[in-house]
Structure 1
Amino acid sequence: MSQSIIQLLLIDDDPIFRMGVKSICEPFSDLEVIAEAVTLREALAVLDNWVKPPVAPTSGVIPDTVKVAILELRIKDLTAQKNQGTLNQQRSAIAFCQQIQASYKNIPLLLFTSESDPNLLISLRDLGVQGYCPKGVGLEELLIALRQVAAGERYWVSPISGAALSSQRNPQRALTSWQKFRYGLVKPGLRSIEQALQELTKELQEAESIPSDKVMMLNLLITRGRYRELRAARWLVSQLIPPLPPPVNNPPSPPDPLSQPSSPGTNQPPNPGQLATTNDSSLVLATETSTVDVQSLLFDVTVAKLQSGLVNYTGIPLEIDILKLTKKQELIYTILRKSEDLINELRLSEIQPEQLDRKSYSLIIDLWKEAIADFFGKYYSLNVRDAQVEVVPVLLRDAPLVEKEILNHIPLIRDLLAHLLFGEPLTIDNQVYALGSWEATRRAEALLQHWVIQVANGVMQPLLNHFADLEEVKQTFYDRRLLSTREIEKFRNNLSWRYRVRRYMSEPQAIFESSYTLFILGDRGIEKLTIYASRRQELEQLSGIQLAVTLVLEGRDAIAPRVRTAISFIGSTAVYLLTQVLGRGIGLIGRGIIQGIGSSIQDSQFRKK
């Protein structure tokens, strides 16, 4: 499934704010600011251009794009005439939004504004404006709002009843786990901005210390421009992110090593047990690292990668592909949280290494059951043929099928748990790597992410089996491109075909090649990674069609090189015969014919004389 590109129109007269929004959108492949407007007239001109029929591209490929307009209600055109009064200013804003809703129905409107008047916001919501975010929400909340509005859904930060709506957040409120997760996603962006600013500051200091006649002015101006842009982006992010509420009656938590990067240019070694991340999101751990440190780092990095968009780039259909982005993130985060709780419980129960051999897969099944109850809600029910059906018990009845098709195929569960609980080394490509090493931590990260994605697929499989085409399910969970019955059935058929191919072709081949295919969270989305692992015992247990597949592969490996050599020899012989033997023979015959014709012509001319 490919992800739509969201093209944005910024209607805001604050140039610093527009620059900051563009800087925020740059790291995300699905967000693109393609137009800006500082007046209402400019905005309408851009919207008029958007609704014109597109020119067909010469390549014949039409990109999947969705256009969204972002409006600041306090733009000067709506507030310039102070003598109008508040009521007239509100009427101007309502009239403009009404014009957009009526004339550009296919272009959703998101209010990203500092306006907090509850009556105006209620009126605009009732008018049908798709989204509202006050300036001051978290960065991830803004990204979710953009993507939900682009997906055709409504998104309002706070529920609006007939009473007043306040855009001010209570700084002492308690955050839910999902809100804390979304809050944590902005950390990497802030760290990147700060590190880039420090590097540019150092460059500017070095450049300014050189005599002016030796400095390339163009490079200096470019560096200063980048410095100003980054400062503007930092200012914007500071406006978007309110401070986290302080903990109540809780002891101060230890410092988060991921939020304390070392200053550029320092070469001090890390303290024992200190964790760090490289600029490509890979993991590096110092010596004497505990299992708790490794576990915390793995889960933190995996949570941070949920902002990638979770687009499936593997070429293999997955059950979670049917989910809208927010539900996909929520499901994977729920399983991550449950997985961390499971590992912590195992650590507290002082489970022994030999017990993991017996309990590994039963632990995964328990995790799957808890994830279903937590994600859908223990008492979630649906109206099926005029009867209320509790969803969770129906889904749990498919446990044997999910276990057979998905959960039992999650590899190396015991190795990952033993690594995180007891610090056992991981064997990678027949090499042993200790806890805290770069190789072991990267492998553990991949195993954890595959574990989480596969359990998420297991959560969605029974829902697709029993309630796939219910309207309430489609509106609540599905991506807007997979709402029709035809698309849903096509999606289910692709999944069914995938499991048949895997059972009889892909799995025997992977066993024969001593490999596993993992689904991991990359920088763009869900990607595929193939790793080596010994599977000799599984190979010896193959029978029937699966064994036949391995024999065919072995026969092909044995015969193919000889066949290629024989074909190459026959081809070379044929070329030699055609060019050297037959070609020369044809050439001699042709030459004799030409000479005979020439002699005949000369004889006839001589007789005439």
Structure 2
Amino acid sequence: MIKYWPNRQGIHLNLAVANLFVQTYQKFSYKLSNKTRICLPIDILDTYIKKQLFIDILIELEILILDLIELNLDIQNIKQLNNKILYDIVTKAMKNFLNELKYKSDYNLIYFYSSYNKLFFAEHKILIQDLLTYLIFGANAIDKTVFPFYKLKTPFNHVQLLLENAIIQIGNIITFNLIENFKSIQAISKFLILNNLCNYHQTSIRSISSFRNNLISYHFVNLYLYYPQNIYCCKYPIWLLSSNGIFYKYIYIDRSSEYIKLSKIQLCIILYLEIQDFIVPKINTLIIILGKFIVYILVEIIGKGFQLCFKSIIKRINQYQK
């Protein structure tokens, strides 16, 4: 039986939110290893540390919801302040995480000039806005054009996926900025060792350098290929927690308003996809037709050749018998 998310504010919504947070907290006891081929910043963290980071983020989200309810903000206020709300969650969770570490230093919490951070905050509406709307106002307050199902029949699992995705994505941005605070691989290794943030075999200069290179290379592939492609296809990758580890799946979401924010290079990728969708099927059809034509010609030539050979052989046999 499908369990649906409450449609409006009230005791049922409060109980659903409380139940959602409890279930999400229980999922932190699952395997938190990345089971995909995509390199994530949190992959460098030990499972216990990763769990503690997720707990800090979940607590901050819970505090945020209570604060927003107490302030009596409406949906328009949340939409206007959404970017700042996401920034506050990231910085507060990051500060709490840092307070638990042994290694103390001056941290620039968020590097806004980083393209990684820019891409993260560019998706702030998908990351946090719809999630807060569900948690505070209920499914009835969601724009009916955003998701491809009737909003008053929003599955409970849908909201759960949005929450898990927000936690994992915020965990990624926190871990990324922690690493970026250090100017050398040696400093990163020292930071990881002193705070027991990962297994010791992952703290070598070679392993950290390889991890960082993989992280950066995938980011640029995502920025200039997957990100514009997902916008073009109205898809969004959702990261989720399962008993086997961390996975992702694509959900449909209206992303038409994001076209105007794409760079010229990203728009060229979309143009390439358009050309590809137009040309490739025709090329495939042409190749199939040419292939059939070539096969027909070869069959005819080979068939005629065999016929001539057989006739020649039979003629010689007849002449020999005479």
TM-score of the two chains, using structure 1 as the length reference? 0.48
Q: How far 1:524 sits from its partner (Å)?
A: 1.2
1:398 matched residue in structure 2: 111
Question: Which structure 2 residues correspond to residues 459-474 of structure 1 after superposition, within 5 A?
Answer: 459-467=174-182, 469-474=188-193
Q: What is the DSSP-based 3-state SS (H/G/I as helix, E as strand, rest coil) of the residue aligned with 2:29? A: helix
Question: Which structure 2 residues correspond to residues 532-543 of structure 1 after superposition, within 5 A?
Answer: 532-543=252-263
2:161 matched residue in structure 1: 446
The correspondence for 1:502, drawn from 217, 222, 225, is 222
Q: What is the DSSP-based 3-state SS (H/G/I as helix, E as strand, rest coil) of the residue aligned with 2:251? A: strand
Q: Distance in 1 between matches of 2:139 and 2:311?
A: 86
2:234 matched residue in structure 1: 514
Q: Distance in 2 between matches of 1:494 and 1:400?
A: 20
Q: Work out whether 1:545 is the aligned partner of 2:259.
A: no
Contact 2:35 2:245 in 1 (8 A): yes
Contact 1:323 1:478 in 2 (8 A): yes
Q: Distance in 2 between matches of 1:480 and 1:409?
A: 34
Q: Percent identity?
A: 26
Structure 2 gap segments, 5+ residues each: none
Q: What is the DSSP-based 3-state SS (H/G/I as helix, E as strand, rest coil) of the residue aligned with 2:250? A: strand
Q: Distance in 1 between matches of 2:110 and 2:223?
A: 22
1:430 matched residue in structure 2: 148
Q: Distance in 1 between matches of 2:4 and 2:289?
A: 53
Q: What is the DSSP-based 3-state SS (H/G/I as helix, E as strand, rest coil) of the residue aligned with 1:529? A: strand
- Structure that is richer in strand per residue: 1
The correspondence for 1:409, drawn from 123, 133, 137, is 123
Structure 1 gap segments, 5+ residues each: 1-277, 383-389, 604-609
Deviations 1:430-450 (A, max 9, x none): 33323xx5x342221111111
Q: How far 1:369 sits from its partner (Å)?
A: 0.9
The structure with the largest alpha-carbon Rg is: 1
Q: How far 1:539 sits from its partner (Å)?
A: 2.0
Q: How far 1:291 sits from its partner (Å)?
A: 2.6
Q: Distance in 2 between matches of 1:397 and 1:522?
A: 29
Q: Distance in 1 between matches of 2:91 and 2:191?
A: 22
Q: How far 1:594 sits from its partner (Å)?
A: 1.0
Q: Distance in 2 between matches of 1:303 and 1:381?
A: 25
Q: How far 1:351 sits from its partner (Å)?
A: 1.1
1:163 matched residue in structure 2: none
2:79 matched residue in structure 1: 357
Alpha-carbon distance change, 508 to 285 in structure 1, aligned in 2, over 3 angstroms: closer
Aligned partner of 1:409: which letter? E
Contact 1:407 1:458 in 2 (8 A): no
1:525 matched residue in structure 2: 245
Q: Work out whether 1:590 is the aligned partner of 2:312.
A: no
The correspondence for 1:555, drawn from 275, 279, 303, is 275
Q: Distance in 1 between matches of 2:276 and 2:112?
A: 39
Deviations 1:262-315 (A, max 9, x none): xxxxxxxxxxxxxxxx8xxx8556897533222112211111111111111232
Aligned partner of 2:120: which letter? I
Q: Distance in 1 between matches of 2:303 and 2:110?
A: 79
Contact 1:310 1:525 in 2 (8 A): yes
TM-score of the two chains, using structure 2 as the length reference? 0.88
Structure showing greater relative contact order (alpha-carbon pairs closer than 8 Å, 6 or more residues apart): 2
The correspondence for 2:66, drawn from 327, 338, 344, is 344
The correspondence for 2:45, drawn from 320, 323, 346, is 323
Contact 1:405 1:499 in 2 (8 A): no
Contact 2:31 2:242 in 1 (8 A): no
Alpha-carbon distance change, 518 to 286 in structure 1, aligned in 2, over 3 angstroms: closer
Q: How far 1:480 sits from its partner (Å)?
A: 3.8
Aligned partner of 1:334: which letter? D
Q: Distance in 1 between matches of 2:102 and 2:193?
A: 14
Aligned partner of 1:550: which letter? I
- Structure that is richer in helix per residue: 2
Contact 1:407 1:454 in 2 (8 A): no
